């Protein structure tokens, strides 16, 4: 005989696994079943005077520096809007001005 849910329908593999754990007297809380993400030991500091931010990889550091500390900007030649990131300028042109 197959075990079904109270509302009907078959149990998922996870539900069956958790029921087996309960029958065996083991804790079936998901906190112990799902591994926690590993913490990164090495943090990369921003490097700008007065900024205490640290990052787990160079991509996050680059994004932070261009967003927060960049003094250069690009100007949309159609409407004059200034954006710090060239990718954002390209996205702006596509979205607002429907260019390619």
Cα gap 8→4, rounded to integer Å: 6
Q: Which residues of the chain have pLDDT under 70?
A: 1-11, 25-41
CA distance to 57, 75, 80, 84, per residue, from 71 (Å): 22, 13, 17, 8
Q: Which of 99, 65, 57, 66 is nearest to 84 (CA)?
A: 66
Task: Quote the pLDDT of residue 69.
Answer: 87
| Reported pTM | 0.41
Listed in sequence order, the DSSP H helices in the chain are: 13-23, 30-33, 58-64, 86-97
pLDDT of 53:
92
pLDDT at 66: 81
């Amino acid at each position: 005989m197959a075990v079904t849910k109270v509302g009907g329908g078959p149990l998922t593999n996870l539900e069956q696994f958790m029921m087996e754990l309960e029958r065996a007297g083991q804790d079936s809380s998901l906190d112990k079943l799902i591994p926690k993400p590993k913490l990164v030991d090495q943090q990369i500091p921003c490097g700008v005077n007065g900024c205490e931010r640290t990052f787990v990889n160079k991509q996050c550091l680059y994004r932070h520096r261009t967003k927060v500390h960049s003094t250069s900007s690009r100007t949309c030649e159609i409407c004059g809007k200034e954006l710090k990131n060239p990718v954002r300028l390209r996205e702006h042109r596509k979205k607002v001005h429907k260019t390619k």
